[in-house]
Structure formats: C-alpha cells, structure tokens
C-alpha cells in the first residue's frame, strides 16, 4: 500500500500564504513549484517532513524504516522550512480502517495531507495519480509552474527558480530532457498494450523531472476526462500535450533518463540518486558551490534536433554535451 507525497514550494511569493484545512482544501496563492511524485509507506510517514524541515532548513528528507524517499532542496536565498508546504497525497481506496484513521489523525494535527477518495493508490496507478494531482493543483492553487520529480531526483531549485524568473515567455512551457525515438515496449512492467499512435513514443520529457507552466497543467486538468492513461506517466504527458502548441525546451542539464549519465556541475536535475549520493551532492554544494566533487560521464548526452523526424532526433555523438 503506497501513498504519494507532494512538496509544494512558495518562493518569494507576494501573495498571502495559505495552509490546507482538515478536508485537504487550500485557498488560492501564488504557487511557483510543486515537486514530487513519491511512493511512501503510509504507516511510516508521521512527522518526518516536519522534523527534517526544522533541523535542516535547506534540506528536506523523508526516511522510514520500511521505505526510503528523499528530496534534497538547495537554495542560497530561500529558507525551505518557512516557505514550503509538504503535502502527502494518499488514495484511500483499499486502506484498512486503522491506516485511514492514522492518516486522518495525522492530518488533524498538521493539516498537510490530501486524501483522495476513493482513489486506489498503487504504483500501477501512477499515471492516474499524476493526473489527479494536476487536477487538484489546478483547482486549488493559482500557480505559475509545476515541477514534477521522482523521489530519487536531486534538483537544483535555486538555478531552476532563477531561470524561470528570467524567462520572457513562460506560457505553454514544457521544459526537460526530451526523447522522441524510444521504441514502444511490448513486454515487461512498462508494456504499452494500448499504444496505437505510432511505432515509437511521441516526444516527451523524461519522467525523472520536468517543468510545466500552469496553463498546460490547466489544459490537462480540464481535458482529463478525454485523456488516455498510458502505463508510463511521462509518456502519457507527452501524448496529452502532442496536439498543443507548446514551447518544448530540451535541456541537457536535466539528467532525467532511466539511468543517470553521470555527474556534471552543469546538471540542475539528476535522476536515479541513492540517499548517500544526494547527501554527497548537497554537502559538495554547501562546501564548494559545485554539485560534483569529481565530474564523470557514464554515457553521452544529446541536443534534440527538432528539424528532423522524431526517430532521428537524438544522436549521442558529441561528448562535449553535459
């Protein structure tokens, strides 16, 4: 039995801040980033986020006896403990009465849980959970951007925030590391039995981390009843946005594929990180200002070529690309 955790961050907001009420509702405020699609164990969530937020104002980590998940947030100007909401999202379908009462008591004490009823929480329902999260954010927050990341993702939020503030055109932004030539999986846990669009997946930002502007989140939320939910959430988001006139920004600084390409001081999002690797990166940033104590590369990256067919988009022939 799993739950989802969302970390909602408010940075330099001029709007009045709000908290969730006991029913999980939130008044409107200026949300800049939402981070995380995390898989947690409901029996282990109590108090960890608040404990770490108090003791580590630039780092929030969640670690439990039966699960481990973590978010490392680095910002030189933002005190995370004072400018963030940690919101755990859980589907209540299939929960025992004891588990449900535990979550309800936790929420009554801290007002930081959103219980999706009667959503049945499981890893197989991740795409549906992402969709429900977008719907909830669109309804409850007056947001600018949404940053979705996995629980094993290390994000340089200081850099991401600076660049979002400086963008001249933030409308219909879809920012991440794109792939357009991946073959459709026919077997295994990620098989897409209902994919009939073409013999490759449509161009999409890889799921380790990507940014959507709020207008695209609104588009997905408002059309959710018509959208096909594929097995992989990143494949699904790419397909949902395929017909939309979208500002797709491919950025090699997003190391967000199914395995990490290594460590580069240019990376702003790094996927597939173990707990100790996250701690090492945070400590390196804190003491040296650099992400990597030693840079290394496991395989080449690429710059997406939007001028050729998608099957020819992504050539890993330039070792200078981070």
The answer to whether the CB of 231 falls within 8 A of the CB of 191 is yes
Is residue 243 scored above 80 in pLDDT?
yes
Q: Helices in the chain by DSSP H: which ranges?
A: 48-55, 97-110, 126-140, 157-166, 214-222, 233-240, 275-288
* Domain that residue 206 falls in: 2-15+28-312
Tell me the pTM: 0.77
42 located within any domain? yes
DSSP 3-state assignment of 300? coil
**Token digits for 145?**
């951007």
Among 49-53, 113-117, 119-123, 145-149, top mean pLDDT goes to 145-149
The answer to whether the CB of 146 falls within 8 A of the CB of 212 is yes
| pLDDT band (50, 70, 90) for residue 87 | low
22 located within any domain? no
191 located within any domain? yes
175 located within any domain? yes
The mean predicted confidence, pLDDT, of the chain is 75
What spatial distance separates the first Cα and last Cα of the chain, rounded to whole Å?
A: 38
Residues 6+ apart with CB under 8 A from 229: 127, 128, 131, 236
pLDDT tens profile 201-210: 999 999 999 9
CATH number of the domain bearing residue 258 = 3.90.550
The pLDDT value recorded for residue 284 is 93
DSSP 3-state assignment of 293? coil
pLDDT tens profile 257-311: 999 999 999 999 999 988 889 889 989 998 999 999 999 999 999 999 999 999 9
What is the sign, positive or negative, of the torsion defined by CA atoms of 67, 259, 254, 217? negative
Count structural domains, the chain: 1
229 located within any domain? yes
20 located within any domain? no
Among 84-93, 115-124, 143-152, 245-254, top mean pLDDT goes to 245-254
């Amino acid at each position: 039995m799993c739950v989802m955790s969302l970390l909602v961050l408010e940075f330099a907001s001029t709007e009045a801040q709000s908290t969730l009420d006991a029913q999980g509702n939130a008044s409107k405020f200026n949300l800049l980033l939402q981070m995380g699609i995390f898989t947690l164990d409901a029996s282990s969530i109590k108090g960890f986020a608040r404990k770490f937020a108090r003791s580590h104002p630039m780092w929030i980590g969640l670690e439990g006896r039966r699960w481990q998940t973590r978010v490392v947030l680095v910002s030189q100007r933002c005190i995370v403990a004072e400018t963030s909401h940690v919101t755990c999202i859980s589907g209540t379908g299939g929960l025992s009465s004891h588990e449900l009462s535990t979550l309800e008591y936790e929420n009554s004490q801290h007002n930081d849980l959103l219980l999706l009823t009667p959503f049945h929480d499981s890893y197989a329902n991740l795409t549906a959970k992402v969709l429900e999260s977008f719907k909830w954010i669109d309804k409850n927050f007056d947001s600018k951007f949404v940053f979705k990341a996995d629980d094993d993702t290390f994000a340089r939020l200081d850099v991401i925030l600076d660049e979002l503030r400086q963008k001249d055109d933030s409308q219909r932004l879809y920012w991440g590391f794109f792939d357009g030539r991946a073959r459709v999986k026919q077997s295994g846990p990620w098989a897409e039995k209902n994919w009939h669009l073409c013999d490759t997946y449509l161009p999409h930002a890889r799921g380790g981390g990507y940014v959507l502007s709020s207008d695209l989140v609104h588009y997905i939320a408002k059309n959710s009843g018509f959208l096909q939910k594929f097995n992989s959430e990143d494949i699904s988001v790419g397909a949902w946005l395929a017909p939309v006139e979208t500002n797709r920004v491919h950025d090699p600084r997003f190391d967000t594929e199914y395995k990490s390409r290594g460590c580069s001081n240019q990376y702003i999002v790094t996927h597939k990180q173990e707990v100790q690797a996250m701690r090492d990166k945070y400590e390196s940033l804190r003491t040296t200002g650099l992400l990597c104590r030693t840079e290394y590369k496991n395989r080449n990256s690429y710059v997406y070529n939007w001028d050729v067919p998608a099957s020819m988009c992504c050539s890993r022939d330039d070792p200078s690309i981070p």
